[in-house]
Amino acid sequence: MSIIQEKSRRDFMRLGAGSLLSAAAFAALPAVVADATQSGDAPMQRRRGGRGRFRSVDEALAQGVSSGTVVGVAALAADARGVIYEAAYGKRDLAGPAGVTQDSVFWLLSMTKAITATACMQLVEQGKLGLEQPMSQVLPQLAAPMVLDGFDASGRPKLRPAKRAITLRHLLTHTSGFTYSNWSDRLPQYEKATGMPDTAESRNGAFASPLEFDPGDHWQYGIGMDVVGKIVEAVSDQSLEIYFREHIFEPLGMTNTGFLISSAQKQRTATTYTRQADGSLKPLPFEMSQRPEFFSGGGGLFGTPRDYMAFLQMLLREGTFNGAQILKPETVAAMRTNQIGDLNVNPLKSSAPAWSNDANLFPGMQQKWGLSFDINTRPGPNGRSAGSYSWAGLLNCYYWVDPVKKVTGAMFTQLLPFYDARVVDLYGGFERGLYGGLARV
């Protein structure tokens, strides 16, 4: 797989997997994700379709490929008993014959956040961390956070001390004040004025960014989960690659998920495409650095759809799957409960339209945030219950967990810009068809 032009790679990473906050350099062990046997290269692979109950989902996904909405797509769903739908349509790359399968490798980007939150909450369960604990006790770099208050006439940044300490809850809920550069009008200017390296460069020197607001004052999507990744490493004395593997991936049987991927897995990684102005799709080959100074807890994981469904089934089953208890039921319940009080989730306003459109998962609906999840406070338009929780990845990957109807679903593509209208419609068709099929039992 080719490496994207460096400028584009920096822009891509700034939006998709930017990390923040300085931490002592650590030795990243060069472990690779284990390979699994690929189940075939046919353009379509499906099992457990439910005796035709989900025919409308098959039709929607097939139409998504034939219409040029996506090059390839994989979708899965499960209930409390197991996988009820699994299908893949299209190709990994238009230039080759190989089809997308459930064992194709996708860059998960912000779908990484839920896994980082799970690791963090394991440490909370063990009494090694507390949600209200000031995180300066773990990372001294957080002892005196500064808020960016604008720029003077000569372009120099104006900073002031934050009014309160940054807690673990702030970081898990995007209320810490740390934001992504590409959702900000000011952070790119700060980087230019100070010479601070961009987080896209995967260098620890990029972790000196100021806050955009005082902790607890607002909800703004950002790099708090990258900071949480640093906290997990500091408390566990392991890199995220090793901690995730030992405490989450191996117990769940997620043998194809990790920050580092093997040469064989690169051969079955789905190519990223970008939507052009005329609606056509253009390849954008990309390879995330395999020698980073830090692992991005906010967006660095690669994995397969089948692996990620194992993780979602763990959440659906209140923390236990594959014979392993990853979290306690009360912890999962807390993670899907409003943790931001009277604050609301704000629509995402993109300052980089090549990489993301403006995004709002539930327009017109009040949304809350749990411990790494968006929560719809009313029933969704396509079938999910009020109180369901969800999120997405930059390359138009999406998932949800419905704790009321006991169903979870996920759809995987590799397409920019994020929140592509055609892909969002396809995702809606998948969800509607799934709930419609379940109603026909």
Cα–Cα dist 297/115, whole Å: 8
| Model confidence, pTM | 0.90
Backbone angles phi, psi at 110, to 5 degrees: -70, -5
Helix/strand/coil for 206: helix
Backbone angles phi, psi at 125, to 5 degrees: -60, -35
Of 89, 91, 113, 273, which is the active-site residue? 113
* pLDDT tens per residue, range 113-142: 999 999 999 999 999 999 999 999 999 999
| pLDDT classification of 206: cutoffs 50, 70, 90 | low
* pLDDT tens per residue, range 33-83: 333 333 333 344 444 444 589 999 999 999 999 999 999 999 999 999 999
Is 163 considered catalytic here?
A: no
Is 110 considered catalytic here?
A: yes
- Residue-level pLDDT at 201: 63
Among all chains, which residue has been given the structure tokens 């991927």? 261
The mean pLDDT value for 349-354 works out to 85
Residue 187, both tokens: 């952070």
DSSP E strand stretches across 177-311: 273-275, 281-283, 302-303
- Residue-level pLDDT at 41: 38
- Residue-level pLDDT at 188: 77
Please provide the average confidence, as pLDDT, over all residues in the chain.
87
- Give the residue, 263 or 272, on which the prediction is more confident: 272
Of 19, 110, 209, 372, which is the active-site residue? 110
- Residue-level pLDDT at 202: 61
Is 221 considered catalytic here?
A: yes
The mean pLDDT value for 307-320 works out to 98
Q: Residue 295 burial by CB count (10 A; 0-12/13-18/19+): exposed, middle or buried? A: buried
Of 85, 221, 243, 308, which is the active-site residue? 221
* pLDDT tens per residue, range 326-351: 999 999 999 999 999 999 999 999 87
Cα–Cα dist 18/11, whole Å: 10
Which strand (E) or helix (H) includes residue 76? strand 72-79
